[in-house]
Homo-oligomer: A and B are copies of this chain.
Amino acid sequence: MTQKILYTNDISAAIRSLAEEMKPASIHILTDANVASDVMPRLDLPSTDVITVPAGDENKNLTSLSMIWECLISGGATRKSLLINIGGGVVTDMGGFAAATFKRGIRFINVPTTLLSAVDAAVGGKTGINFGGLKNEVGAFAPADAVVISTALFSTLPPSEILSGYAEMIKHGLLSSAEVYHELLGFDILGADMTSLLPLLEKSVKVKERIVTEDPTEKGLRRALNLGHTAGHAFESLAMGRHKPVPHGYAVAWGILVEMILSNMAEGFPSAELHDYARYLKEHGYGSPAITCDDYDELTELMRHDKKNDSPGQINFTLLASPGSPLLDRTADKTEIAAALDIFRDLME
């Protein structure tokens, strides 16, 4: 897993220099309809062969993937061509998979246009599409040949998008060290100039990079990146099922708190840290999930069916002994989870 990552305030220049270095037979750009209208006019790119897919996770499917392969064929792409994916996670996940499988693999570059995709989807080699009603059911581990990380496009993102991505940065901080984590909690993400975020973002991406390099196909350490996601996905699925979707990063932010509470109960994670974190969420507008104790059974069932569980019946969590000390493959039972959700609701009210 080698992945070149450029941190820059000039996206167009970075793309041009990568393209010159890679000398592709042809360059093709993949983006979605929103990025095509809002972002593409602000860039100066070395190709006009632009493939545009409809925006939204519901379009990360076989129909769009098929269309991308068709456009690569009609655009004359060869085994030595280059695909540049410019967009959020939908574009980088699906474009990465399209490139990894077109003629058994052509080179590709990811250019994340959202904070969430910069810190999460664009780096680390997980590509894929939703299939059969299941998220990321079909895909490949295929690292981009290069990733261009920039905060230059983030100033026009709505606050919910920024907060969503920042939750994943906080997660990386928690996996890395108390120092990085506290630096993140101290940064005024909504008030800050986005250019001042770039050094923090670089630190955060490097945490993920380090973990992914050690364990590209998620046999062990990479599971640490699931911190906050067992409970988080349950919140997300519950909300989705009720047709009141919540941003992925909000659900993860809440999930991290639930898992901090479980960590406190089972692994001695410091109480003061979890209170600080809960206060941070409340002060920065992460809201809270609309749940009562009547929802606990459904949430627990959703956690049980998470694909991270290898053994049926068990619920797998990444927990924390303290900020910077993750604990892999921990489990909790229904009673413990209900107790944690009680405390969670108290803290968030």
Chain-B contact segment, one of A10-18, A98-106, A200-208: A98-106
A323 within 8 Å of B (CB atoms): no
A137 to B128, CA, bound (A): 18
**B137 & A140 in contact (Cβ 8 Å cutoff):** no
A97 to B139, CA, bound (A): 10
Interface of A is mostly: mixed
Minimum CB–CB distance from A113 to chain B (whole Å) comes to 24
**A73 & B141 in contact (Cβ 8 Å cutoff):** no
**A126 & B104 in contact (Cβ 8 Å cutoff):** yes
A132 within 8 Å of B (CB atoms): yes
Kindly identify, within residues 183 to 199 of chain A, every residue whose CB is under 8 Å from any CB belonging to chain B.
none
Of B66, B101, B132, which contacts A73 at CB under 8 A? B132
Question: A140 with B70: in contact, given A80-B310, A105-B217, A307-B79 (CB under 8 Å)?
Answer: no
| A78 neighbours in B (Cβ, 8 Å) | 307, 310
A69 within 8 Å of B (CB atoms): yes
Residues of A within 8 A of B (CB): 25, 62, 66, 69-70, 73, 78-80, 97, 100-105, 126-128, 131-132, 134, 136-141, 217, 307, 310
